[in-house]
Amino acid sequence: MKNDSLKGQYRINEQIRAKEVRVVGEGDEANVYPIAQALKIAEDRELDLVEISPNAQPPVCRIIDYSKFLYQQKKRQKEQKAKQVKVNVKEIRFGPQTDDHDYNFKLKHAKGFLADGDKVKAYVFFKGRSILFKEQGEVLLLRFANDLEEVAKVDQMPVLEGKRMTIFLSPKKKDGGGAAAPKKPQVKPEKPVQKPQEEKPQEQQEEAPAAE
């Protein structure tokens, strides 16, 4: 059954070994009862006596529908699991004298990792006497962070540990869950075209010339 992993976590009814228990929950006033009386109360309500805090003195129980209780616990576990976001950390390695072609190739990969929601751990590895170029390695990592500033934020500035200088970057959160949709141009409603009125013959307003 799906709830088998939860069933072993709680004792119910006759499985409860304590001589007396504290009953809590809706309609109960956290009273202490002998186990036999607590079981009788649960039976009268046609519910189960569930031990929810076995290490308390005395153990704490609730009188509830055990099947419904398991369902709610399972649902709560799923909700908590859904909230836990797994974050992967991708590593990108540079040399202190990485050329532009290799740099741009790794920059492209970093953008892809960040777009997928992964963090990026970029580091410069100093081999042998190349540790003399540690300032050059720091400049490279700062350039890397600057080229990614639109999609990433710096969690940790370059730090030298042994033969590695490391910087940590994480993806920036998008405002409103993504890029804003382009606005459509507003079109003003056209005014209704009025049909031209038929011209009426003008009345002769001029007076006839007076007779001489």
Instruction: Give residue 46's region: left, alpha or beta (phi > 0; psi -120 to 50).
Output: left
pLDDT value, residue 179: 41
157 with 103, same domain: the answer is yes
Domain that holds residue 156: 89-173
Separation CA 166–CA 157 (nearest Å) = 8
Q: Which residues of the chain have pLDDT under 50?
A: 1-3, 176-189, 201, 203-212
pLDDT value, residue 27: 67
pLDDT value, residue 168: 95
Whether 212 is in a domain gets the answer no
**What letter would DSSP give residue 58?**
S
Specify the amino acid at residue 82. A
**Which of the listed residues 58, 82, 106 is the one where a domain comes to its end?**
82
**Contact between residue 120 and residue 152 where contact means Cβ atoms under 8 Å apart:** yes
62 with 99, same domain: the answer is no
Whether 114 is in a domain gets the answer yes
- Residue 19: closest CA among 61, 58, 60: 58
Whether 161 is in a domain gets the answer yes
95 with 70, same domain: the answer is no
Separation CA 10–CA 15 (nearest Å) = 9
Whether 192 is in a domain gets the answer no
**Contact between residue 113 and residue 129 where contact means Cβ atoms under 8 Å apart:** no
109 with 51, same domain: the answer is no
Separation CA 19–CA 36 (nearest Å) = 8
Whether 193 is in a domain gets the answer no
pLDDT value, residue 177: 44
pLDDT value, residue 36: 92
Separation CA 96–CA 158 (nearest Å) = 13
pTM of the model: 0.44
How many independent structural domains does the chain possess?
Answer: 2
pLDDT value, residue 4: 52
